[in-house]
């Protein structure tokens, strides 16, 4: 029987790991130039240690059988630092499937995050597949739809007066201005300055800068303009002209703009001007520290929504152990703290994640109406920050 290595990947195997991932995910793709380094330069460049940030199974010759990425990255939620980790590139070689490797590495990954004091993990993938490990669908994403007829009736007939140009990866001043817009949001991922361009280029998109008379007024990222992955401007007065500018620079008939609930000025603009709206979820999440995560997101939500006064005591049987919490909102000041005594409500780990963070409504229907108004909490991630 072959002797197998289980553990973190080795830096010298970076290129071998990426070749393995490309083979697993893209062998059947018609687009031959798809590769992980191109899709996600922010994590697969050598300097970001992609192999080290993977848990792997390798044989005695160093050949990969399976790999799962654990990519740690903090978030700022309601001004509070929350330690997060994203699971990515869950891969099993085609000759080694149904042998338990994915399950074993996911268990290692989940335990590693727990031992490292992770507050919350997230990933994109099949709900039931990752539900075994504590993940549950979460978040709210508004996707506003536009087409040329919409633009004609709501934003025309005058030209935008704006220009669109590709972001220069060496233009640190403009990247700093983009960062300044992003960092005003109440829920953000920490984006190191040196990685910012790579982050904005995630998933094969191109970052663009919107200018007025040569002056920076906004930015966007997109692959082919039918889906605008990230988009913002320096002031709400520019939203209409910026959307018009995007249409002026593409032949696309329609496009969609994913938007977070906490982007209130953007939501207001799109609500008044878009053709339609689809509401969906975001990444699946795994909450290790319900007290901290609920407190941070509730504080973030109170910064843009007026919350009803109310109080809730709850016992959560979480993956890291039981948590008994008192959750309160009074005059839009929120608090979450440990609680001693008999709790009014009791939730399993998955039920708590659904009740507090997901679009699924049934678990929170047991809660008082004024408390239901607080949820779901805004566990939104831009596509630029997913792995």
Residue 329 has pLDDT above 80, yes or no: yes
Q: What is the pLDDT of residues 82-95, one digit of tens each?
A: 999 999 999 999 99
The class that CATH gives domain 5-118 is alpha beta
Q: What is the pLDDT of residue 65?
A: 98
For residue 28, how many other CB atoms are within 10 A of its CB? 5
Q: What is the pLDDT of residues 209-263, one digit of tens each?
A: 999 999 999 999 999 999 999 999 999 999 999 999 999 999 999 999 999 999 9
**Among 3.30.1050, 3.30.1460, 2.40.50, 1.10.10, what is the CATH number of 287-372?**
3.30.1050
Q: What is the pLDDT of residue 156?
A: 81
The strand order across the sheet containing 228-233 reads 163-166, 206-212, 215-222, 228-233
Q: What is the pLDDT of residue 32?
A: 52
Q: What is the pLDDT of residue 29?
A: 53
- 299 CA to centre of own chain: 19
Average pLDDT score over residue span 294-302? 98
Residue 33 has pLDDT above 70, yes or no: no
Tokens of 384: 């630029």
Average pLDDT score over residue span 39-66? 97
CATH, domain range 141-280: 3.40.630.30
Q: What is the pLDDT of residues 339-371, one digit of tens each?
A: 999 999 999 999 999 999 999 999 999 999 999
Average pLDDT, the chain: 96
Q: What is the pLDDT of residue 209?
A: 98
Matching residue, tokens 């070689």: 93
Task: Determine the 3-state secondary structure of 228 from DSSP.
Answer: strand
Q: What is the pLDDT of residue 26?
A: 86
Nearest to 308 by CA among 354, 380, 375, 356: 375
Q: What is the pLDDT of residues 150-203, one digit of tens each?
A: 999 999 889 999 999 999 999 999 999 999 999 999 999 999 999 999 999 999
For residue 333, how many other CB atoms are within 10 A of its CB? 11
In angstroms, rounded to a whole number, what is the distance separating the alpha carbons of residues 62 and 65? 9
Q: What is the pLDDT of residues 98-131, one digit of tens each?
A: 999 999 999 999 999 999 999 999 999 999 999 9
Measured distance between the N- and C-terminal CA atoms of the chain, rounded to whole angstroms: 34
Residue 305 has pLDDT above 70, yes or no: yes
Domain locations in the chain as residue ranges:
5-118, 141-280, 287-372
DSSP string computed for 42-102: HHHSGGG-TTTTEEEEE-TT--EEEEEEEEE--EEETTEEE-EEEEEEEEE-GGGTTSSHH
Q: What is the pLDDT of residues 68-78, one digit of tens each?
A: 999 999 999 99
Q: What is the pLDDT of residue 35?
A: 87
The strand order across the sheet containing 64-72 reads 5-8, 54-58, 64-72, 84-92, 120-123, 284-287
Task: Determine the 3-state secondary structure of 355 from DSSP.
Answer: helix
CB 167 within 8 A of CB 197: yes
Q: What is the pLDDT of residue 31?
A: 53
Domain 141-280 and domain 287-372 have a common topology:
no
């Amino acid at each position: 029987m072959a002797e197998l290595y289980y553990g973190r990947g080795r830096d010298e195997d970076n290129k071998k790991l990426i070749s393995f991932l490309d083979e697993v995910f893209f062998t059947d793709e018609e687009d031959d130039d798809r590769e992980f380094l191109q899709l996600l330069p922010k994590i697969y460049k050598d300097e970001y240690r992609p192999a080290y940030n993977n848990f792997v199974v390798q044989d005695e010759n160093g050949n990969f059988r399976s790999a799962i990425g654990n990519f740690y990255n903090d978030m700022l939620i309601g001004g509070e630092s929350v330690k997060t980790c994203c699971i990515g590139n869950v891969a099993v070689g085609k000759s080694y499937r149904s042998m338990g490797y994915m399950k074993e590495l996911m268990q290692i990954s989940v335990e590693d995050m727990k031992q490292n004091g992770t507050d919350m993990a997230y990933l994109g993938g099949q709900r039931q597949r990752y539900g075994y490990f504590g993940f549950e669908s979460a978040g709210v994403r508004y996707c506003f739809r536009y087409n040329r007829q919409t633009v004609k009736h709501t934003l025309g007939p005058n030209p935008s007066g704006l220009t669109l140009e590709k972001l220069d990866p060496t233009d640190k001043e403009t990247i700093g201005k983009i960062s300044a817009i992003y960092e005003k949001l109440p829920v953000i991922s920490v984006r190191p300055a040196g990685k910012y361009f790579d982050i904005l280029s995630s998933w094969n998109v191109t970052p663009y800068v919107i200018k007025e008379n040569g002056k920076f007024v906004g930015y966007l990222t997109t692959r082919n303009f039918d889906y605008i992955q990230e988009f913002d401007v320096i002031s709400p007065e520019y939203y209409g002209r910026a959307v018009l500018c995007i249409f002026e620079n593409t032949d696309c008939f329609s496009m969609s703009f994913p938007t977070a609930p906490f982007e209130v000025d953007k939501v207001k603009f799109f609500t008044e001007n878009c053709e339609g709206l689809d509401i969906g979820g975001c990444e699946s999440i795994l909450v290790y520290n319900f007290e901290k995560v609920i407190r941070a997101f509730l504080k973030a939500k109170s910064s843009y929504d007026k919350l009803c006064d109310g109080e809730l005591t709850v016992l959560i049987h979480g993956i890291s152990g039981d948590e008994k919490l008192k959750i309160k909102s009074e005059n839009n000041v929120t608090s979450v703290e440990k609680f001693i005594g008999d709790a009014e409500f009791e939730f399993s780990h998955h039920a708590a994640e659904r009740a507090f963070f997901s679009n699924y409504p049934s678990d929170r229907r047991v809660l008082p109406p004024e408390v239901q108004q607080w949820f779901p909490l805004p566990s939104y991630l831009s596509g630029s920050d997913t792995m």
